[in-house]
Amino acid sequence: MHFEILVEGQAELTALSILVPKILGEYDNPHTWKIHKHRGIGRIPDDPMQTPNPKDTTLLHQLPAKLRAYSKAPNTNRAIIVLLDLDDKDINVFSQELRSLLALCDGDFEANFAFAIEELEAWYLGDRSALISFNPDIRLNTLKDYVQDSICGTWEMLARADDPTVLSQKKRGRHSLDKKKEWSKKIPPHMDVDSNQSPSFNKFVNCLREHTAA
């Protein structure tokens, strides 16, 4: 099976480049994949049938056109996976909005929409052993009240445990992006994909593996 995986940005690309081989095995033995990064999540166009603005490379802006393009070249040995941060959206409403885009595609086209709830950092918080391996001095006591995959400001929660200085007003912005990139590079190598407390991560793992079971 070949996987086309669409993600929001560099952090997701980096993390999945490490995690997908752990889920599917060695590349081309027998499965392959390509991970496509975008410049943020963006929004679904008011007219999803319009030609996308080439200057707007956010995932949701480009998504309707990309799904239509995939549908015009059907391939039973290919799976389309779209990974998005849920943020503060209603998952049922958002899922319906995404699935409505499939009705605009050719034929009986199918794609899978996966979510990190609330955001990618929830997946890291689902593996405390990986966090300790990443940072032996991490403040796990600050995570004692964290409810897995809750809408609570997930990256800030992890920052308070790992490096609360990035939460200062002066260091938000560029520093927070740098910290997210650091986590995406340095935490996933320690993660056990078969032992994670994040339901949304486990759904992503199962989504990939279900396509390889046939």
Q: How many residues does the chain have?
A: 214
Q: Which CATH number fits domain 2-120+196-213: 3.30.2030, 1.10.20, 2.40.128, 3.40.50?
A: 3.40.50
Q: What is the pLDDT along the chain (214 residues), one digit of tens a residue?
A: 999 999 999 999 999 999 999 999 999 999 999 999 999 999 999 999 999 999 999 999 999 999 999 999 999 999 999 999 999 999 999 999 999 999 999 999 999 999 999 999 999 999 999 999 999 999 999 999 999 999 999 999 999 999 999 898 666 667 788 999 999 999 999 999 999 999 999 999 999 999 998 6
pLDDT of residue 151: 95
The token pair at 203 is 């759904």
H/E stretch holding 17: helix 10-24
What is the rounded distance in angstroms from the CA atom of residue 69 to the CA atom of residue 67?
Answer: 5
Q: Domain spans of the chain? A: 2-120+196-213, 121-190
Q: Which of 95, 105, 99, 103 is nearest to 66 (CA)?
A: 105
Cα 149 to Cα 30, 50, 99, 153: the distances in Å are 32, 35, 22, 10
pLDDT of residue 171: 60
The token pair at 185 is 């590079």
pLDDT of residue 12: 98
pTM for this model (two decimals): 0.95
pLDDT of residue 170: 63
